[in-house]
Amino acid sequence: MTAQELEKDFLDKVADEIKIEPRDWMPEAYRKTLVRQISQHAHSEVVGMLPEGNWITRAPSLKRKAILLAKIQDEAGHGLYLYAAAETLGVSRESTIDDLLSGKAKYSSIFNYPTLTWADIGAIGWLVDGAAIMNQVMLCRTSYGPYARAMVRICKEESFHQRQGFDILHVLSKGSDAQKAMCQDSINRWWWPSLMMFGPRDSDSTHSDQSMAWKIKRMSNDELRQKFVDMIAEQVKVLGMTLPDPDLRWNEEREHYDFGEINWEEFWNVVKGNGPCNRERLEARRKAHEEGRWVREAAIAHAAKKNRRKQAA
């Protein structure tokens, strides 16, 4: 087949909703976009374990501790499915992880904020996992097969995560005055960073147009953000709490909630590495990688020994 025929075959598959698989021909730019997005997504899952891990030893009960541990382990699993999906595009796991540790690769801005109180664990589950699901449900239909299939499994686990977060806040919202205040304070601090998870405005998004054309993304950053605001503006009423936005109001004509302007300067500042916890997060990942070095070396030595024995036999 000529280059034009290959490209046409690829575009026809995308148009007909046939998944692109690892051995199929694909444009180099499509492959690169996927490697970028999937690896950033994997890094987000792994770095995302850190703010929550901060509360494992201080969870208020054995039950809450067991639930939090299970949730954090799920995030590690999500990272692994996604690193494996990225590997199907011809990049090694080592190089992808090196890019994270050297600060070259991005991960979601949200994980550069600190978890100051137990209520933050509730706010992360409800708002952060809520925003993640909103984005990831669409990614279950993404055009690249291994990414779409990883997303189906991840979304099932994420819905449990969101419910556990809402449950934490629900209990606090019915508690003492101090617990209610802690609940409101966590919502105040996590609301705007959660909206930033959806990425820049469509007009400032570098990759959206091409990613939508290739059906990697099925909805734009602004569309998903609006859906999220509409959902949370209703759910917050069940908690008897408020969202920290004086401009939030239902718009009859649009049939959507209007909301205030995001602080984009803060967003880009965090993305560029200058958020409250960027340095601390990367430091923690580098330390974990160093401390795990002997495990990787032992696994490689063990595999080589088994291989030698097999060949000798």
Residue 275 beta carbon to ligand BYC: minimum distance, rounded to whole angstroms: 10
- Buried residues in 150-177 as b, exposed as e (16+ CB within 10 A): bbeebeebbeebbebbbebbbebbeeee
Q: Could you tell me the two tokens for 309?
A: 């024995």
Q: Among residues 210 and 251, whose Cβ is nearest to ligand BYC?
A: 210
Closest separation in Å from C-beta 13 to ligand BYC: 21
Q: Choose between 96 and 135: whose C-beta lies nearer to ligand BYC.
A: 135
Binding site for ligand BYC (CB under 6 A): 36-37, 40-41, 44-45, 48, 75, 106, 108-109, 124, 128-129, 132, 135, 196-200, 205-208, 211, 221, 271
Q: N- to C-terminal Cα distance for the chain?
A: 45
Give 235 or 299: the residue with its C-beta nearer to ligand BYC. Answer: 235
| Closest residue to ligand BYC: CB criterion | 48
Nearest distance from C-beta of residue 109 to ligand BYC, angstroms:
4
Q: Which residues pair with 20 in a beta bridge?
A: 144
CB of 257 to ligand BYC, least distance (A): 20
Which of 250, 264 has the CB closer to ligand BYC? 264
Closest CB 26 distance from ligand BYC, rounded Å: 17
